[in-house]
Amino acid sequence: MSESNEFPADILELSFEAALQELEKIVEKLDSGKVDLDQSIDIYTRGALLKQHCDTKLRSAQERVDKIVNQNGTFSTQPANIE
């Protein structure tokens, strides 16, 4: 399943940094213990989606770096074809 089928559009539009910042706020809310059960479930669900989105962004960045750097750690002389 592609990422766009799994995530709400507002999460897909977030940069890695914005998604991570929102995820940190969710963790703070949950840690505070001042959120009722239903709201906790809702924000936990959003937090899980944000984490997956961040993981996808990190994997994509790693793949881009891997295209640029050879296995021995030197820069590739081949075009990276980065989309």
Is the pLDDT reported for residue 71 higher than 70? no
Q: 61 is in which domain, residue-wise? A: 3-68
CB–CB of 27/47 below 8 Å?
yes
pTM above 0.85, yes or no: no
On whether residue 76 sits in a domain, the answer given is no
- Taking the alpha carbons at both ends of the chain, their separation in whole angstroms is 20
On whether residue 46 sits in a domain, the answer given is yes
Tokens 């239903």 identify what position?
38
% of the chain surpassing 90 pLDDT: 66
The reported pLDDT for the residue numbered 47 is 97
Total domain count for the chain?
1
CATH number at residue 39: 1.10.287
The reported pLDDT for the residue numbered 19 is 97
Q: pLDDT class for 1, splitting at 50, 70, 90?
A: very low
Q: Residue 63 to residues 10, 13, 21, 56, 66: CA-CA distances in angstroms?
A: 24, 20, 23, 11, 5
Tokens 């936990």 identify what position?
44
What pLDDT, in 10s, does the model give residues 23-52? 999 999 999 999 999 999 999 999 999 999
CB–CB of 22/50 below 8 Å?
yes
Q: pLDDT class for 81, splitting at 50, 70, 90?
A: low
On whether residue 74 sits in a domain, the answer given is no
